[in-house]
Every structure is written in structure tokens, then in C-alpha cells.
Amino acid sequence: MTSIATFRNSMSPLFRGSLFYLTFWGMVGSFMPFLNVYFTTQLGFTGRQIGLISTFGPLMMVICAMPVSALADRHRWRIRISTFALTIYGMLLLIAPLPQTFMVWVILMLAMSVVFSPVIPIADSVIARMAVRHQLNYGTMRLWGSFGFAVMSISCGAMWDRFGFWAMFTVASISVLPVLVFVSMLEEGPPRLETSHAAPAFRELFHDGGFIVLLITSFLIGTAVTNSSVFDGIYMQHLGGSQFLVGLMFGFAAFSELPSMQFSNQIIDRLGGFKTLLIAYGLISLAFLGYALAWHPWLLLLTAMLKGSGFGLFYTGTIRLITARTPEHWASTVQAMLMTSAFGLAPLLANPLGGELYDRFGPASVFWAGSLAVLIAMGILILAQIRGLLR
């Protein structure tokens, strides 16, 4: 334990946060971009079945993320809960090649979604607060997650294209091990205040119109982005692309997040939160229009890059603005609220609709709907700015 503590203390907070994001999103990139392609090509699932399965992650985000994050805040178990959840997740990935039927995958995906749901909001809150305490740029740490995701999705896409999917889940399971090492090196943060002091502060959040607006617009962005993550790979195959191009598309999108994440602080300081998010939403909307109009698989690489640039600015910008509006002792709970809105409720409602649109009208219709959702978010943001809610 002493050697582990010495190793931890030898690394800067910037390095620790960056290594966690690098390994965590690298692990996700090894299999997540290809999961729905695996379902369609190897197991023969339909669009409706994929749309149904894709609701489990968001559903568990809604049911589990906030109460578990609140428990982590209350008892200062943020690192402990993250470690336990990631361990179980790695074990479930190890047995994932075994099920061959839809109903067995339903059970497995439910279990995986339960343990995965609190990891991202807790980790984001811990690292964002580390950035505040040590006066660091959160985007500089988060961009390494996009880098890891990009490298793994491209390299694994080439491997799965050449050798098939037989080793995909084993590689993903092994990739959890370095994540466990680096999550243990994050800073737990201060304990939550006593209930008598903390409860009024939490209630006060719901009197903050800007906070509510950010939750609503994040929900709308989430409907578009999560539907895209479900159907991007399938759409690439629909246009004639290979597994390598699927990985390349996700990799290009992730690489494109790097500049906007790196310079998010400077952009927000220069333009303000409203203009920064408006630019992010605009880039995402244009990307979805590009998806809908694409006629060749290589065009999806260009639109993926546009989406990545917008998403990187949206994600880091929103987390910074949310962090600035909330007290530290509610950090994980509030971050879970944001994640629940954008990546819980949003896909829970949108993914089944996306599956229905895909089956009825073709894959392009999913991206037309996504562009419309982002345009509505832009309208709400502009109205909130006019009314002075974002100050």
C-alpha cells in the first residue's frame, strides 16, 4: 500500500486525471463502436431489437446513477464505488461472447448497464473538482479520453475487420485492468456537508433557471448524440463501409474532440458560456445534416469529424458551467443529474424511436430527427440568453 501511495503521489493531478480518461475511454473504444454491428451481423438482431437493448443503459442511468452518486457523495465512497463497478463490468465483458440469443443478451445488457451507470458521472465530478482545486484545465484531462477512444476504435476496427469479433470482448475485459489502477489514484474530495446545511443548497439549484436550461438542452443534445452512437456503425455498413471504416469513423470523431476540449477554457473565457454552447450545438446540427445527406461511406468520416468537434465543446463546456453553478459536496449527485438528462432520459426515449425510424424510413431518417432536436436546443438556449437566465 505504501508503494502504491508513493507512486500515486509522484504523479501530478493533471497526469492522474488524464491517465484515467485515456484508459477508461480506450477500453470503451475497443468494443462499443462495434457492438451494434456485432448484433446485426453475428446475431441477426433487428433494428427494433437493437433499439430496445440500447435503452437499458439509459434506463439504468435514470434508475441507478443519481442514488448511487448521492451515496458516494454522502459517505465519500466515490473511488470505492467506481472501483467495485468497474471490476464487475470487466467480469461481465469476459462472459459476453457466450450468449447467442436476444433474451440472454437482454439479461446481460441489463446487468452491464446497472454497474456502468454511476461510473461516468462520479469520475467526471471527481476529475472536474480536481481541476478546480488545482487550477487545471478540465478539457486538457478529458481530451485524453477522446484520444484513447480514437486510437482503440481505429486499431480494434482494423483487427475485427481482419480476424472477426471472436476476441473483442476478451480484449475489452483485459482493458479494464489499467482503468482500475488509475481510478484508485483519483482524489476522493471533501465530504458532503451535514444535511441541515447541504439540503437547502441542493434545493436552491432548482431555482437557478440557467441550471434547468442546461439540463433541458443537454437532454435534447443527448437524444441526437446517443441515437448517432447506436446507428453510426450500422449506417456505415448500409453505405458499403467495412469494419475498419466503422472504427475509423468513431476514431475520427474522437480525434476531432481534442482541439475543442483543449481550448474549451480559453473559448469560454473569451466568448462566454452562451456563445460557446451555441457554436457547439451548431456544429452538431450541421454534422447530422451531413449524415442524412451522405451517399458514400467516406463522407461519414467528414461528418463524424464535425460532430466530434461540436461534441467536445458541448461536453467540456457544459461540465464547466454546471460545476461553476454547484457546491462541491453535491458534485457527483449533480453530475449524475446532467448525465441522467443527456445520456439517461434522452436515449431512453429517443433510441426506441430511432429504431422505429430506421426500420420504417431508413437510417438517414435517424439523423434528420437528430438535427431537428439540436435545432430546438439552440432555440431554447437563445431564448434563455434573451431572458438573462444564463448569467
Residues 379, 33: Cα–Cα separation, whole Å: 31
Which triple of cell numbers denotes residue 375? 435545432
Confidence bin at 197 (pLDDT 50/70/90): very low
For 50, the 3-state DSSP assignment is helix
Confidence bin at 176 (pLDDT 50/70/90): very high
Provide the residue count of the chain. Answer: 391
pLDDT of residue 84 exceeding 90, the answer is yes
Which triple of cell numbers denotes residue 371? 438535427
Average pLDDT for 7-14: 75
At 102 the pLDDT is: 92
At 188 the pLDDT is: 79
Residue 387 burial (CB count, 10 A): 10
Q: How would DSSP label each residue in 126-172? A: HHHHHHHHTT--HHHHHHHHHHHHHHHHHHHHHHHHHH-STTHHHHH
**Exposed/middle/buried for 224, CB within 10 Å: 0-12, 13-18, 19+?**
buried
Which triple of cell numbers denotes residue 130? 480536481
User: Running DSSP on this structure, what letter comes out for residue 54?
Assistant: T
Of 89, 81, 99, 102, nearest to 32 by C-alpha is 89
CA 81 to chain centre: 19
Of 19-33, 65-79, 196-210, 305-319, the poorest mean pLDDT is in 196-210
Residues 65, 58: Cα–Cα separation, whole Å: 10
What mean pLDDT, rounded, does the chain reach?
Answer: 83
Which triple of cell numbers denotes residue 302? 467528414
User: Running DSSP on this structure, what letter comes out for residue 344?
Assistant: I
At 342 the pLDDT is: 80
> In the chain, what is the straight-line distance between the N-terminal and C-terminal CA atoms, in Å?
46
Phi first, then psi: give them for residue 93, nearest 5 degrees: -60, -35
For the whole model, what pTM was predicted? 0.76
At 198 the pLDDT is: 45
pLDDT of residue 38 exceeding 70, the answer is yes
Confidence bin at 202 (pLDDT 50/70/90): low
Task: Find where cell 465530504 sits.
Answer: 191
Residues 384, 390: Cα–Cα separation, whole Å: 7
Which triple of cell numbers denotes residue 13? 493531478
Report all structural domains of the chain as residue ranges with CATH numbers, in order of start. Answer: 13-187+198-386 (1.20.1250.20)
Which triple of cell numbers denotes residue 87? 471490476
CB 247 within 8 A of CB 160: yes
Phi first, then psi: give them for residue 48, nearest 5 degrees: -65, -40
Residues 148, 21: Cα–Cα separation, whole Å: 8
pLDDT tens digits for range 222-264: 888 887 777 777 778 777 877 778 778 878 888 888 888 888 8
- The region, left, alpha or beta by phi > 0 then psi within -120 to 50, assigned to residue 192 is beta
- The region, left, alpha or beta by phi > 0 then psi within -120 to 50, assigned to residue 186 is beta
**Exposed/middle/buried for 266, CB within 10 Å: 0-12, 13-18, 19+?**
exposed
Of 314, 292, 311, 303, nearest to 366 by C-alpha is 292
Percent of the chain with pLDDT over 70: 91
pLDDT of residue 203 exceeding 70, the answer is no
Give start and end residues of each alpha helix (H) in the chain: 2-9, 13-29, 35-41, 47-53, 56-60, 66-75, 78-95, 102-116, 119-133, 138-163, 168-183, 195-205, 209-238, 243-262, 264-271, 273-293, 297-324, 331-340, 346-361, 364-386
Which triple of cell numbers denotes residue 121? 458521472
